Amino acid sequence: MKSLMKARTAAGLLALIGLVMIPRLGFAADAPGADDMRAIKSELQELKQDRLRDREEIHDLKGRVEQLEGENKQLKAASSQIQTEQTQTTQVVKQIQEQSKAGPSPSQVSSAFSRYLGSHTFLVTGTAGFSYIYAPQSGGINDIPRQRQNTFVSDWEPMILYRPNDWMLFQGILSAAFGSTGTSVDLSSAEFHIFPTDHMEILLGLFDNPFGDWYETQSPMWVNRFITAPLPFGVEAVIPAAEMGVQLRGGYQWGQVGQDWDYTVWGGNGPSFSTTSNGLDAVGATMSAPTPAAFARTNSKSVGARFRIYPIPVDADWGRLELGVSTYNGKWTAGRWLHGWGVDFNYFVGNLQTRGEWLQSYRQMPSGFSSDNRQGGYLQLGYFLNGIDLPFLPEAVNKHVNRLEPLIRFSMVNQRATLVDDINSATGIGMGGSRVGLVPDFGLSGSPALFAPKSREVAFGLDYWISPSIVWQNEFDLEVPQRGGVFLDKNGIATTVGRRVQRDHVFLSQFTIGF
């Protein structure tokens, strides 16, 4: 038994040894050789290189992908920009097409035209008229002969405006007329206007006397509602019609819109008067006309001032009222003065317009003469029939009625004397001559009562307005001179007016255009 146990123990040990040794014997049989190891190393090396190349390729590919992504972004941005631009282009094209259909705006045309014209601009404006005068002149005054009028007169008054910049203007007016004694040309005004500030203007040159309103603003043919001038502004003027000198003027708004006041002060060469054919200074002599003002005897300078106020605001809808006062003082010869003053008004509301002036002057005379006092005035009223529908008239007639403006005016002049020489050399249109210039700018003077020392005139007018500045005017004047005053002959001999004061009448018709 013991031997069997020993045998079993020995067999177990052998088996254990076998189990431990067998695997070791197997490894020993498969182990590589040196060649194999080199091959394996070589393969490993190749694998490393392959891996390195792969990494490089991957890196390159990554870079390429990034580049492509960047390019893609740029393409997308470019595409978006193109789309935006395309939209904008479409809008612009559409706008241009619409503008093309509508045409250029006035401001665009204006801007283009202004560029074309340049900064110095030039304009010819003014007025032209064709008149007929019928003055039967049934008799003279105190047997002084009067000339009949049955004639046509043509008058053209171009005004040239030249504007080198927005604070300077030149204005020149020529008066040219053709009448019963031929053609005449006169220089009515030549003015330099300088606007250094908003509320002041400097005016230099030959200008209409800014005394009151009539000389300056109412004398142009198409502006004057009548054909003739009121008596105080005719050939026997109370204040000189023109001056050669300097003005300062301007306007202010003192209250609401439309409530203004303005000032004009001026100095000039001074007044001048005609003399008798014997060279005597005489009471009642005619004052200078615009052109002689340039050559007036300049014994001293004259000064004048005018102030006007406009009390009604625009928003009140009460129309426009002007109230003015003027003075004029100057030496007409050494040591002797002419003093003048005046008041004026004008008012319009709706279809009604009215205006009037009163002016006086006092001239110191040499010893032996009484002083040369003059007074004059006018009051004028007109009513536009525009908008008035007369039910008993057909529409075609009402259309013409609406263009009518009936007018009435009373004017007068008082002076102590009138020179017979002035009457015999009468030059005002309507007094046997055609010379212009006796009244500044464009006004005619067709009143036969002018040379009576105490003239009175009632004028009726009927204007037919074709457009705001084209009018056919008709006027009928009743001349009713009063007794009083004297006529002075060339030697200064006086004849009292009063023996016979002839009344008279005149008809005038005029077609005039303001351009």
Q: What is the largest CA-CA distance in the chain?
A: 207
Residue 156 pairs in a beta bridge with 128, 176
* Of 183, 252, 388, 393, the one binding other proteins by CB under 8 A: 252
Kindly identify the residues of this chain, within the stretch 56-75, that bind other proteins according to CB under 8 A.
Answer: none
Query: Strand pairing of 486-488 and 417-419?
Result: parallel
Near other proteins by CB under 8 A: residue from 128, 135, 141, 169? 169
Instruction: Tell me how far apart the alpha carbons of residues 288 and 295 are, in angstroms, rounded to a whole number.
Output: 10
**Interface residue with other proteins, options 32, 145, 182, 196 (CB under 8 A):** 196
Q: Min. distance of Cβ 258 from other proteins in angstroms?
A: 6
Considering only the stretches 38-46, 90-98, 120-128, 269-277, report the one whose residues sit in contact with other proteins under the rule CB under 8 A: 120-128
The verdict on 469 binding other proteins (CB under 8 A) reads yes
12 Cβ contact list (under 8 Å, min separation 6)? none
Q: Which residues inside 85-114 make contact with other proteins, applying CB under 8 A?
A: 106, 110, 113-114
Interaction between residue 346 and other proteins (CB under 8 A): yes
> Cβ 173 to other proteins, closest distance in Å?
11
Rounded distance between C-alpha atoms, residue 292 and residue 145, angstroms: 27
CA-wise closest residue to 375 among 339, 408, 347? 339
* Using rule CB under 8 A, residue 251 touches other proteins: yes
Q: Which is nearer to other proteins, 331 or 435 (CB)?
A: 331
Contacts for 400 with CB less than 8 Å, ≥ 6 apart = 464
Burial class (CB in 10 A: 0-12, 13-18, 19+), 9: exposed
Query: What x-and-dash track marks residues 127-166 binding other proteins by CB under 8 A?
Result: ----------------------------------x-x--x
> Pick from 35, 98, 198, 395: which binds other proteins (CB under 8 A)?
198
User: Which CB sits closer to other proteins, 51 or 199?
Assistant: 199
Task: In whole angstroms, give the CA distance from residue 253 to residue 264.
Answer: 15
182-186: long-range contacts (C-beta < 8 A, 24 or more apart)? 182/434, 183/434, 184/434, 184/435, 184/436, 184/437, 186/289, 186/290, 186/291, 186/435, 186/436, 186/437
**What string of DSSP letters covers 154-172?**
EEEEEEEEEEEETTEEEEE
What does the alpha-carbon distance between residue 99 and residue 103 come to, in Å, rounded to a whole number?
A: 6
Least distance in angstroms from the C-beta of 97 to other proteins: 24
Least spacing, CB of residue 403 vs other proteins, in Å? 12
Site residues (CB under 8 A) for other proteins, limited to 287-316: 300-301, 303, 305, 308, 314
Q: Could you list the residues that contact other proteins (CB under 8 A)?
A: 106, 110, 113-114, 117, 121, 123, 125, 161, 163, 166-167, 169, 171, 193, 195-201, 203, 213, 216-218, 220, 222-223, 248-253, 257-258, 260, 262-265, 267, 300-301, 303, 305, 308, 314, 320, 322, 329, 346, 348, 353, 465, 468-469, 514
